[in-house]
Amino acid sequence: DGGITQSPKYLFRKEGQNVTLSCEQNLNHDAMYWYRQDPGQGLRLIYYSQIVNDFQKGDIAEGYSVSREKKESFPLTVTSAQKNPTAFYLCASGTIHNEQFFGPGTRLTVL
């Protein structure tokens, strides 16, 4: 089945730790995106990539980093510089005309 997978579904982080969220797609889409979702805030764009080895900051990139070494994969690292990382993180891949397909999400909680 074609789609987007995110792992893990739940992730717990201690203060000062970096954690990496996985996102893989087999839809052969060039573009991939990371969003953060907080209650009442909608979706806010963290980073996006339109091609392998290239990515751009979104609206809330501070405290996050990404890589795009393969077309299928777009991992997100939440660094210790992100002061309030507890949120629901959504990965998406996109076609022309901005149509985006979403993964099931990862819920990150800081302990």
Q: What is the largest CA-CA distance in the chain?
A: 40
Nearest distance, CB of residue 25 and other proteins, angstroms: 12
Count of other CB atoms within 10 angstroms of residue 4: 22
Interaction residues for other proteins, span 18-37 (CB under 8 A): 31, 33
Q: Under rule CB under 8 A, how many of the chain's residues touch other proteins?
A: 27
For residues 10 and 15, which CB has a smaller minimum distance to other proteins in the complex?
10
Determine the Cα–Cα distance for residues 102 and 104; give it in Å rounded to an integer. Answer: 7
8 binds other proteins (CB under 8 A): no
Determine the Cα–Cα distance for residues 52 and 10; give it in Å rounded to an integer. Answer: 27
DSSP 8-state code for residue 95:
-
61 binds other proteins (CB under 8 A): no
| Listed residue (38, 42, 43) closest to 92, CA to CA | 43
Nearest distance, CB of residue 43 and other proteins, angstroms: 4
Q: Which residues bind other proteins (CB under 8 A)?
A: 4, 6, 31, 33, 40-43, 45, 48, 50, 56, 58, 88, 90, 92, 96-105, 107
